[in-house]
Protein backbone atom coordinates (compact mmCIF):
# COMPACT_ATOMS: atom_id res chain seq x y z
CA UNK A 1 0.00 0.00 0.00
CA UNK A 2 1.46 3.36 -1.05
CA UNK A 3 0.79 5.75 1.83
CA UNK A 4 2.15 8.64 -0.23
CA UNK A 5 0.03 8.40 -3.38
CA UNK A 6 -2.43 11.12 -2.33
CA UNK A 7 0.15 13.45 -0.77
CA UNK A 8 0.35 16.91 -2.31
CA UNK A 9 2.20 20.11 -1.55
CA UNK A 10 1.22 23.76 -1.60
CA UNK A 11 2.83 25.57 -4.50
CA UNK A 12 3.85 29.22 -4.72
CA UNK A 13 2.56 31.36 -7.58
CA UNK A 14 4.22 30.21 -10.80
CA UNK A 15 5.74 27.09 -9.19
CA UNK A 16 5.10 23.79 -10.98
CA UNK A 17 5.78 20.17 -10.08
CA UNK A 18 8.35 18.67 -12.46
CA UNK A 19 8.75 15.18 -10.97
CA UNK A 20 7.35 13.33 -7.95
CA UNK A 21 7.17 9.92 -6.38
CA UNK A 22 7.45 7.84 -3.22
CA UNK A 23 10.79 8.11 -1.44
CA UNK A 24 12.61 7.49 1.79
CA UNK A 25 14.91 10.11 3.30
CA UNK A 26 17.85 8.83 5.32
CA UNK A 27 17.77 10.72 8.63
CA UNK A 28 20.47 9.25 10.82
CA UNK A 29 19.75 5.54 11.14
CA UNK A 30 16.08 5.88 10.12
CA UNK A 31 14.80 5.78 6.56
CA UNK A 32 11.83 8.14 6.77
CA UNK A 33 9.06 7.27 4.33
CA UNK A 34 7.20 9.90 2.36
CA UNK A 35 6.99 11.56 -1.03
CA UNK A 36 9.61 13.55 -2.93
CA UNK A 37 8.59 16.50 -5.10
CA UNK A 38 10.84 18.33 -7.55
CA UNK A 39 9.35 21.67 -8.49
CA UNK A 40 10.52 24.55 -10.61
CA UNK A 41 12.00 26.16 -7.48
CA UNK A 42 12.76 23.46 -4.89
CA UNK A 43 13.13 19.83 -3.91
CA UNK A 44 10.67 18.95 -1.14
CA UNK A 45 10.42 15.78 0.90
CA UNK A 46 7.18 15.35 2.83
CA UNK A 47 7.17 12.56 5.43
CA UNK A 48 4.02 10.51 5.87
CA UNK A 49 2.49 10.10 9.31
CA UNK A 50 3.82 6.56 9.95
CA UNK A 51 7.36 7.60 10.95
CA UNK A 52 9.25 8.19 14.17
CA UNK A 53 10.79 11.29 12.60
CA UNK A 54 8.35 13.48 10.74
CA UNK A 55 8.36 16.83 9.05
CA UNK A 56 9.28 18.16 5.66
CA UNK A 57 12.59 19.05 4.08
CA UNK A 58 12.71 21.92 1.60
CA UNK A 59 15.82 22.46 -0.51
CA UNK A 60 15.64 25.52 -2.76
CA UNK A 61 17.22 24.79 -6.16
CA UNK A 62 19.50 27.80 -5.60
CA UNK A 63 21.09 25.91 -2.66
CA UNK A 64 21.62 22.59 -4.47
CA UNK A 65 25.10 22.01 -5.90
CA UNK A 66 24.23 18.74 -7.62
CA UNK A 67 22.86 15.23 -7.51
CA UNK A 68 24.36 11.81 -8.10
CA UNK A 69 23.17 8.23 -8.00
CA UNK A 70 24.13 6.38 -4.84
CA UNK A 71 23.45 3.53 -2.47
CA UNK A 72 20.83 3.12 0.24
CA UNK A 73 22.67 2.59 3.51
CA UNK A 74 21.71 0.46 6.51
CA UNK A 75 22.11 2.40 9.78
CA UNK A 76 23.39 5.28 7.66
CA UNK A 77 26.74 3.61 6.89
CA UNK A 78 26.54 0.11 5.38
CA UNK A 79 25.79 0.18 1.61
CA UNK A 80 22.76 -1.98 0.85
CA UNK A 81 21.20 -1.29 -2.55
CA UNK A 82 21.86 0.86 -5.62
CA UNK A 83 18.56 2.73 -5.48
CA UNK A 84 19.32 6.19 -4.10
CA UNK A 85 19.86 9.70 -5.35
CA UNK A 86 22.21 11.85 -3.28
CA UNK A 87 21.68 15.62 -3.27
CA UNK A 88 24.49 17.93 -2.14
CA UNK A 89 23.92 21.50 -1.02
CA UNK A 90 26.15 24.56 -1.20
CA UNK A 91 26.31 24.41 2.62
CA UNK A 92 28.07 21.04 2.38
CA UNK A 93 25.11 18.90 3.46
CA UNK A 94 24.24 15.59 1.83
CA UNK A 95 20.67 14.29 1.60
CA UNK A 96 20.17 10.67 0.53
CA UNK A 97 16.79 9.65 -0.93
CA UNK A 98 15.80 6.06 -1.74
CA UNK A 99 13.69 6.31 -4.89
CA UNK A 100 12.41 4.26 -7.79
CA UNK A 101 14.24 4.93 -11.08
CA UNK A 102 17.09 6.89 -9.53
CA UNK A 103 18.60 7.78 -12.93
CA UNK A 104 15.33 9.53 -13.86
CA UNK A 105 15.43 11.48 -10.61
CA UNK A 106 19.03 12.52 -11.19
CA UNK A 107 18.25 13.63 -14.75
CA UNK A 108 15.20 15.61 -13.58
CA UNK A 109 17.20 17.35 -10.84
CA UNK A 110 20.05 18.08 -13.26
CA UNK A 111 17.58 19.55 -15.75
CA UNK A 112 15.92 21.72 -13.08
CA UNK A 113 19.32 22.96 -11.90
CA UNK A 114 20.32 23.87 -15.45
CA UNK A 115 17.30 26.16 -15.81
CA UNK A 116 17.43 27.93 -12.44
Which residues have CB under 8 Å from 16's CB, separation 6+? 39, 40
Q: Distance between CA atoms of 97 and 77, rounded to whole angstroms?
A: 14
Map out the domains of the chain as residue ranges: 17-114
What strands lie across the sheet with 78-89, from one edge to the other? 56-60, 42-47, 30-39, 17-27, 94-99, 78-89, 64-74
**Taking 80 as the threshold, does the pLDDT of residue 39 lie above it?**
yes
pLDDT at 1 over 50: no
pLDDT digits (tens, 9 = 90+) for 40-94: 999 999 987 665 556 789 999 999 999 999 988 776 666 778 899 999 999 999 9
- Considering the segment(s) 17-114 as one domain, its CATH architecture is Roll (2.30)
Residue 50 is classified by DSSP as S
Q: Is 53 helix (H, G, I), strand (E, B) or coil?
A: coil
Question: Does 30 or 114 have the greater pLDDT score?
Answer: 114
- pTM exceeding the 0.85 threshold for the entire prediction: yes
Amino acid sequence: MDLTRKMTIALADGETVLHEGPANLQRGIENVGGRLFLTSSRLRFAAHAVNVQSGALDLPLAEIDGAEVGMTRVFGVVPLAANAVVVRTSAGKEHRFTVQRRAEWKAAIDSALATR
